[in-house]
Structure 1
């Protein structure tokens, strides 16, 4: 995804915290700096890569434990609408959970 450093190298990044849901494995690092222009699809592919998922496996991402954003939704818009405490929290799981 991006750096795990404490400070973003540019103002064009958003702090994203990823939380696993259900029996989906947890990521070693849960907080990342993501380019504002990246999409939810990019985040999903990144998580799948980190979890070493098979290509056919599904992964679901949710905002506020309520809805799954469109895969082409950019991170900046989600952050502006749903970010809190200077970060965007996304939940992920391998089976549908909310929304």
Structure 2
């Protein structure tokens, strides 16, 4: 998998997880529609698309960052 142009992104607390996934997909694959990209919080779960980034940050931040992991294949059955 190609690396995104930037490894850090700033997003608003009110942004939805689905919006962030679309932006990351476009950054990695140069288009938002041609391939699947799986995003996980703490390498453990993929939040619902309508989950706010602020809520995710409040519950799962590491220091001052929310770390997301990306992959082209689903990690869990």
Bin of the TM-score, shorter chain as denominator length: 0.7 to 0.9
**What CA RMSD, in Å, does the superposition of the two structures yield over aligned residues?**
1.6
Count of residues in correspondence between the two structures: 76
Secondary structure in structure 2 of the residue aligned to 1:48: helix
Secondary structure in structure 1 of the residue aligned to 2:67: strand
- Give the structure with the higher percent helix: 2
Q: Which residue does 1:25 correspond to in 2?
A: 2
Over alpha carbons, which structure has the higher Rg? 1
Show structure 1 runs of 4+ deviating over 4 A.
Answer: none
Contact kept, 8 Å, 1:66 with 1:98, in 2: the verdict is no
Q: Which residue does 1:46 correspond to in 2?
A: 23
**TM-score for the superposition, normalised by structure 1:** 0.69
1:41-99 CA distances to partner (integer Å, 9 max, x unpaired)? 11111011112146142111100001111111110000000002101000111210147
CA distance in 2, matches of 1:56, 1:67: 23
Query: What residue ranges of structure 1 are gaps of 5+ in the alignment?
Result: 1-23
